[in-house]
């Protein structure tokens, strides 16, 4: 067997001011054919798992380009077309192949392309013809368009959010691909459109039990090859945005349709109950001050660079300054210009500095003050599970009793080591303000006396009922109260 694999992935927040070009892909991950490292980066797991599977089988794996850009705004048109054509040319050169197995994210939007993954998959289908297997792994924070469903044989989606299972799901993808190529199964994909926009952390109920149930059904029923939920990505203003369920069965279309529908309607019935309770910045500071033991971790949950925002909002910091909060640390605020100024000044210098809130409306105001530069670190890093997350040149400044970490690379606050890297002991602080929606939890919960989820300002379109969408359909909850009550049937193709 000859199998072609490649990865093209990013998550586009169409409301983000941070546009991305080829350099952004190259800075995050760009691997030419055969150059992908041994460890996968989220959406590139089909390549590393594919190497293992094909080696065991004695099959030929032809690797194309594998690239990933950290979440941000619109992708430059030439960048998308260039990366797409590079992969299509590699595939043409590899023909004939028996299958194409891809790593995609599924929430890319490029200038001129509302559905780049649908475009890529359709062009691949045109090259390989109708009978060659085409499948991909997707991130649940993606848009499942009809064009993609028509072009691919099946998708497997990460089940967990945080995405701790991207390698496990790549193994599912390959297992189903191998079983198909060896003639044991015939995958058929069914999709149900839940007509809702929501956020589904799987670390808490009710989504925890729902995901456990999907896995129990997969284990118990031999003709159910894979069950997935496309959570949807509310920061992507595209026509087919929303939550969808996928059932991949072994040739049993009727069963797949019924399962996808049943699971989808169950999610719809629990709409609005999946997210953790959120409070505003005033309540967050009130509650943190009222808790005797620190550190209280306040997650500035919507100014999360992992969701494509700039990560420079100052709304919570401004509230802390107004209230005279001390013995607190803030990590991180993205401000490469301020970092550059601090590095030039050097550790120990006291300088006038303007920092933060320079990139987007709804993120507070830049803070002006006489700050003390405590420490500067070139190419700073923090831990993220077993891996390392770089956050660029960084500065630790002390201002009005608060220690603040400024970074020059946009990345969410994964781990308390972001503070220790800059000489701050986070365990001695009463209050820690960080920027992350969910991924921070594993590491910060180990040191936090309490965790508060704070919705401050409007750095991210986190309220679909109020977001000024231009392309999202209107017959979807919470824009419409009960879209399933509408006369026309709600099933997607």
Residues contributing to the site for Zn ion (CB under 5 A)? 139, 141
Taking the least distance from each CB to Zn ion, the nearer of 139 and 198 is 139
Classified as helix, coil or strand, 453 is strand
Whole-number minimum distance, CB 137 to Zn ion, in Å?
A: 12
Two tokens at 21? 């070009």
Q: Which is nearer to Zn ion, 159 or 358 (CB)?
A: 159
Could you tell me the maximum CA-CA distance found in the chain, to the nearest angstrom? 71
Residue 162 preceded by cis peptide, ω within 30: yes
Q: Which is nearer to Zn ion, 71 or 392 (CB)?
A: 71
Task: Return d(Cα 203, Cα 459) in angstroms, integer.
Answer: 24
Nearer to Zn ion, 236 or 256 (CB): 236
Residue identified by tokens 């015939």 is: 186
Tokens describing residue 195: 């007509």
Least distance (Å) between residue 19 CB and Zn ion: 20
CA distances from 282 to 286, 287, 288 (A): 6, 9, 10
Q: How far is the CB of 227 from Zn ion (least distance, A)?
A: 18
Residue 378 CB burial class (10 angstroms; 0-12, 13-18, ≥19):
exposed
- Our CB check for Zn ion shows the closer of 12 and 249 to be 12
Least distance from Zn ion to the Cβ atom of residue 139, Å:
4
Q: Can you spell out the DSSP letters for 129-172?
A: -TTSEEEEEE-SSS---HHHHHH-SEEEE---SS-TTHHHHHHH
User: Who contacts 359 (Cβ-Cβ below 8 Å, separation ≥6)?
Assistant: 17, 18, 310, 312, 334
Closest CA to 233 of 460, 1, 76: 460
Nearest to 115, CA basis, from 65, 149, 156, 140: 149
Q: Tell me how far apart the alpha carbons of residues 90 and 47 are, in angstroms, rounded to a whole number.
A: 15
H or E segment and range at residue 176: helix 166-181
Q: Which residue, 139 or 300, has its beta carbon nearer to Zn ion?
A: 139
Least distance in angstroms from the C-beta of 105 to Zn ion: 8
Distance CA 384, CA 401 (A): 28
Instruction: Tokens for 444, please give them.
Output: 């910060």
Contact 456, 10 (CB under 8 A): no
- Considering the complex, what minimum distance in angstroms separates the CB of residue 333 from Zn ion? 23
Residue nearest to Zn ion (CB): 141
Q: How far is the CB of 185 from Zn ion (least distance, A)?
A: 28
CB of 347 to Zn ion, least distance (A): 37
Q: How far apart are CA 405 and CA 109, in angstroms?
A: 31
* Between 137 and 139, CB nearer to Zn ion: 139
Looking at the Cβ atoms of 115 and 139, the one nearer to Zn ion is 139
Positive/negative CA dihedral, 248, 252, 253, 257: negative
Residue 138 or 297 with smaller CB distance to Zn ion: 138
Minimum Å gap between C-beta 161 and Zn ion is: 6
Strand partners, 134: 100
- Dist CA 315 CA 39 (whole Å): 37
Tokens (6 digits) for 409: 């690379």
Q: State in angstroms the smallest separation of the CB of 273 from Zn ion.
A: 20
CA distance 425 to 413: 15
Residue with tokens 């500071």: 285
Burial category of 354 from C-beta neighbours within 10 Å (exposed 0-12, middle 13-18, buried 19 and up): middle
Shortest gap between Cβ of 310 and Zn ion (angstroms)? 19
Closer to Zn ion by Cβ: residue 141 or 143:
141
Smaller CB separation from Zn ion, 240 or 403: 240
């Amino acid at each position: 067997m000859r199998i072609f694999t490649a990865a093209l992935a990013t998550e586009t927040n169409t409301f983000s001011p941070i546009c991305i070009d080829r350099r952004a892909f190259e800075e995050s991950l760009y691997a030419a054919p055969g150059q992908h490292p041994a460890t996968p980066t989220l959406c590139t797991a089909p390549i590393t798992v594919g190497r293992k599977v094909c080696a065991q089988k004695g099959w030929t794996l032809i690797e194309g380009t594998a690239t990933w850009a950290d979440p941000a705004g619109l992708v430059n048109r030439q960048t998308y077309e260039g990366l797409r054509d590079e992969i299509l040319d590699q595939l043409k050169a590899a023909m004939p192949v028996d299958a194409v197995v891809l790593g995609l994210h599924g929430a890319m939007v490029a200038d001129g392309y509302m559905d780049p993954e649908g475009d890529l998959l359709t062009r691949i289908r045109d090259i390989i013809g109708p009978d060659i297997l085409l499948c991909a792994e997707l991130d649940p924070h993606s848009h499942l368009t009809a064009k993609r469903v028509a072009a691919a044989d099946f998708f497997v989606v990460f089940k967990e959010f945080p995405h701790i299972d991207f390698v496990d799901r790549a193994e599912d993808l390959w297992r189903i691909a191998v079983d198909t190529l060896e003639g044991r199964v015939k995958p058929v994909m069914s999709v149900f459109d839940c007509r809702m926009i929501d956020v589904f952390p799987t670390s808490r109920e009710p989504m925890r039990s729902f995901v456990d149930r999907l896995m129990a059904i997969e284990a118990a029923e031999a003709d159910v090859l894979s069950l997935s939920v496309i959570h949807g990505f509310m920061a992507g203003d595209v026509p087919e945005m929303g939550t969808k369920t996928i059932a991949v069965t072994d040739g049993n279309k009727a069963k797949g349709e019924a399962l996808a529908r049943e699971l989808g309607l169950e999610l719809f019935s629990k709409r609005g109950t999946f997210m953790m309770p959120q409070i505003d910045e005033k309540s967050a500071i009130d509650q943190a001050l009222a808790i005797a033991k620190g550190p209280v971790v306040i997650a500035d949950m919507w100014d999360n660079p992992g969701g494509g925002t700039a990560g420079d909002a100052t709304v919570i910091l401004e509230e802390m300054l107004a209230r005279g909060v001390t013995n607190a640390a803030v990590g991180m605020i993205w401000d490469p210009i301020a970092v550059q100024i601090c590095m030039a000044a050097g550790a120990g210098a006291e300088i006038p500095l303007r920092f933060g809130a320079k990139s987007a409306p709804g993120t507070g105001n830049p803070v002006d003050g006489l700050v003390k530069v405590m420490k500067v670190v070139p190419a700073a890093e923090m831990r993220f599970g077993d891996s390392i997350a770089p956050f660029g040149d960084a500065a630790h400044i002390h201002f009005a009793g608060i220690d603040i970490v400024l970074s020059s690379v946009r990345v969410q606050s994964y781990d308390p080591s972001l503070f220790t890297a800059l000489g701050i002991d986070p365990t001695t602080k009463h209050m820690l303000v960080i920027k992350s929606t969910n991924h921070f939890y594993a590491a910060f919960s180990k040191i936090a006396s309490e965790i508060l989820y704070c919705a401050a300002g409007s750095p991210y379109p986190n309220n679909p009922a109020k977001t000024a969408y231009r392309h999202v359909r209107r017959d979807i909850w919470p824009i419409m109260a009960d879209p399933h009550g509408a006369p026309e049937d709600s099933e997607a193709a």
